[in-house]
Chain A
Amino acid sequence: MPTKKSQKIDIYAMTWRLPIIIWQLLFFVGPVIFMIAMSFFLVKNYRMTEAFEFINWSKMFSKNYFWDSYFYTVTIASISTILAMLLAFPASFALAFKASEKIRRWAIFLLIIPFFTSYLVRTFSWFVILSEKGVVNALLGYIGLGPFTMLNTNFGTLVGYMTLTLPLVVILQTITMANIDKTLIEAARNLGCKPLSTIWRVIIPLSKTGLIVAAIFCFILSFGDFVAPFYLGGSQEPTLPILILDTTKSGQQWPRAAVVAIVMMITLFTVAFIGIALAYRKKASK
């Protein structure tokens, strides 16, 4: 039968697809399923034993420190996202509209360079700059200011988040805005739109999709980052990634750490889903 023929597996294509499918199953789907299962395990005498109990979930959800950490992480990741989007915008705007094609290409290349070095190394370098006796306080000291405590504060955490996200956000914003049809900006000007208003009236609506994708990336990276809140924020208020570490250390509570991790994943899925839905939303046409 002809239908049978079309259903026949193409061995050649499968051979090429198989490695990535196996990889994903082994190292992504497998661990996620295991993690979900683990969240129902029990820990007895510091040893994990297989079980199916909801106690980890109810214990975690009844703890104030869990919810404090959750809302703190959502808040600081949101602030990080807004801050990165705002700090990046003028630079991206200049690169997209004022710079020549050549300069834009070089700028994007240079913005990729930070990713060559380890994020941890880049984070540690901030100690030199931000500590009580660091570069910033030394400079401020000359004009009689400070010293300010910048490490082990929310400010420190945010500096770390910016180190992680800003280059990427600038790249994404620049590429998005460089690709919009410049004629539309001229058309707006021609119809009486002031130069600065074109940003709000034309440029942002036209680059909405790319800007939201940049914001989603920024939120995901900040929300899941362990390094910045731990080393620069001093884990004064633990974010969820720090909470995971603490939970595994204290009494080998891997199952409860799994609960935190699952909550994080659900949050990120929700944010990404809503973000993408907004990014690609069409006007309701009647």
Chain B
Amino acid sequence: MTKPLVVLKNVQKLFGDFVAVKALNLEIHEGEFLAIMGPSGCGKTTTLRMLAGLEEPSTGEIYMNDQVMNKVKPHERDTPLVWQSLALFPFLTVIENVEFGLKMRGINKSERKRRALEWLEKLDIIEFADRDISTLSGGQKQRVALARSLVLEPKILLLDEPLSALDAHLVIRMQAVLVQLQRELGITFVYVTHSQSEAFAMADRVVIMGNGEISQVGTPKDIYRSPQNKFVAEFVGRNNILSGTVFDLTNFGAHIKTVSGTFSVSLKTDKLLKGQEASFVISADLVHLSGSNPEAENSVHCKLISEEFVGSMVTLFLEDKSDQEFKVQMQERELSKFDLKPGSDIWLSWSAQSAHLLNVN
């Protein structure tokens, strides 16, 4: 990674008594695709608005290219934002929308037009140049919003859940467009979303936020396989979270005693004490099924509660005798050999390497 383009240092934002963002520290690098993800009200949009200068941090500093940006007004920044509502100007045509920012920068008419047309061409909407915004489809509007921001050739593009209003198949298409644009232009994208699939599909790094704080920063794979705490593990979903106490320590790892049994967890770094409380997660897709007792180290006997299909992937929801919930994710064709119905008995097992210890918080 190159040097940070944006640095947030102890940034805090209060609205009256409400703490929207607390003590945020984050470095955003040049040319990276960073996703900020979290449930609604977690402060992700407020963070983005602070980057655009639409909100001023209550305390702390935001640096861009080593300069403090706190007091810099939105119109003096080069931080175009793609809005959730798109915020296209309904009284302007497509090309006038795209030219707007250039006009504000005092660029002459012919140059404005040339650059706007170039971007309309690049985003494949040139035939709509003279159309009214209201005559466009959702996907076309999306492209106009992107063109309007990118025509300014910014170093950083801010995106606030821009795909949330689109149909599912369009979302996939636009994801590809965004990733390709970002790679081609080599500029920084900061993408705020509540959608895990969007964030994981596109981002180089993902920031998970909850209650105004950063819970974890990492690559999508890091976050998915090694959530650092319970909040992330639960937010990412499709995880089995087990809690208990440390039963004993081995040179390989630890045995943790839970209501569902005692399981072994491999340890990478953490120093753990015997008798201490501990939680660990196993990704739902790393759990194996077997019809009979697998006689393996980490196994549980469960009953199937329900199943959920998304395409060829199936998620099974199960419960053991102590009412601990389990989730298993697998391909539909692998599942067919088990012939399961709600209420069926089945054994789950996983390897100690698949279990990942959570930080205590």
Q: How far is the CB of A176 from chain B (nearest CB, A)?
A: 14
Q: Which chain B residues lie closer than 8 Å to A282 at the CB level?
A: 132
Residues of A in contact with B, size category: 20 to 34
**Residue of chain A at shortest CB distance from B87:** A187
A188 CB–B CB distance under 8 Å: yes
Q: How far is the CB of A179 from chain B (nearest CB, A)?
A: 14
Known: A181-B85, A202-B89, A206-B91. A195 touches B75 (CB 8 A): yes
**Residue of chain A at shortest CB distance from B76:** A192
A191 vs B104: C-alpha distance when bound (angstroms): 7
B224 CB–A CB distance under 8 Å: no
A208 CB–B CB distance under 8 Å: yes
A190 CB–B CB distance under 8 Å: yes
Contact in complex: A285, B130 (CB < 8 Å): yes
Known: A188-B100, A189-B54, A192-B101. A285 touches B148 (CB 8 A): no
Q: Which chain B residues lie closer than 8 Å to A122 at the CB level?
A: none
A186 vs B100: C-alpha distance when bound (angstroms): 13
A to B CB contacts below 8 Å, 23 in the list:
A184-B89, A186-B74, A188-B89, A188-B100, A189-B54, A189-B73, A190-B54, A190-B75, A190-B80, A191-B80, A191-B101, A191-B148, A191-B149, A192-B105, A192-B152, A194-B104, A202-B89, A205-B89, A206-B90, A206-B91, A282-B132, A285-B132, A286-B131
A283 CB–B CB distance under 8 Å: yes
Residues of B in contact with A, size category: 20 to 34
A190 vs B52: C-alpha distance when bound (angstroms): 7
Contact in complex: B74, A190 (CB < 8 Å): yes
Known: A191-B100, A285-B131, A285-B132. A208 touches B91 (CB 8 A): yes
A285 vs B135: C-alpha distance when bound (angstroms): 9
Q: Which chain B residues lie closer than 8 Å to A189 at the CB level?
A: 54, 73-75
B79 CB–A CB distance under 8 Å: yes
A41 vs B152: C-alpha distance when bound (angstroms): 71
Contact in complex: A192, B89 (CB < 8 Å): no
Q: How far is the CB of A213 from chain B (nearest CB, A)?
A: 17
Contact in complex: B54, A186 (CB < 8 Å): yes
B175 CB–A CB distance under 8 Å: no
B62 CB–A CB distance under 8 Å: no
Q: How far is the CB of A193 from chain B (nearest CB, A)?
A: 5
Q: How far is the CB of A185 from chain B (nearest CB, A)?
A: 9
